[in-house]
Structure 1
């Protein structure tokens, strides 16, 4: 079974998020940073070896385009615009937001990396 298609899609520039509403009344607001770090692009997914995205805390969405009848192409202000967010993937991101976000934060912590674009971490071996 495929995921439902949003009935409303809004780019919220002030809150830097994408708002999705569905026919069953469910609504989700997905932050630009969340969408950017979990992009379905090869750049992020790394052809099977995911590349941890860091320093994306201030990223904003600058555009949304339909990609046929099955996906959205999102454009971010850091120049990232590859990867198609299928309806299934967007619905997964929406309904699994808490768990996926916590897993991302744990990956950052483990790597000694930061969401802040103005911070870089250096790890010293004991």
Structure 2
């Protein structure tokens, strides 16, 4: 997924990374040490992206997962962590 930011940075974030790092309780659990593996993450696609106010995006994946709300700060961190040089 390509994410663009107000400072001009643009990151290409792999769908698999987005799925594995979903901020939803389904993936992250309800407390420390409860994160769950997503074994099929590298084969998923994003089918929709819906804005949540001005602070986040809700992603819908083709495996039915749709409960993660990705704050722009999280998307920025995932883009930087993906090791992909930002586009300007």
Q: What TM-score results when the alignment is normalised by the length of structure 2? A: 0.84
Structure 1 residue 92, shift from structure 2 partner: 1.0
- How many residue pairs get aligned? The number is 81
Runs of 4+ in 1 over 4 A off after TM superposition: none
For residue 49 of structure 2, what is the aligned residue in structure 1? 64
> CA deviation digits over 1:73-104, x for unaligned, max 9?
00000000002100111111111224xxxxxx
Q: Which residue pairs with 2:7 in the alignment?
A: 24
1:24 CA displacement: 3.1
1:37 equivalenced with 2:20 (yes/no): yes
Structure 1 spans left out of the alignment, 5+ residues: 1-17, 99-126
> Once superposed, what is the RMSD of the aligned Cα atoms?
1.2
Instruction: Give yes or no for contact 2:2–2:12 (8 Å, CA) kept in 1.
Output: yes
Higher RCO (C-alpha 8 Å, min separation 6)? 2
2:3/2:75 contact within 8 Å kept: no
Structure 2, unmatched stretches of 5+, are 84-88
Matched, 1:53 2:46: no
Residues 20-79 of structure 1 show CA distances to partners (whole Å, capped at 9, x for unaligned) of: 123433221011111001100000001121111112221000000001111000000000
Larger Rg: 1
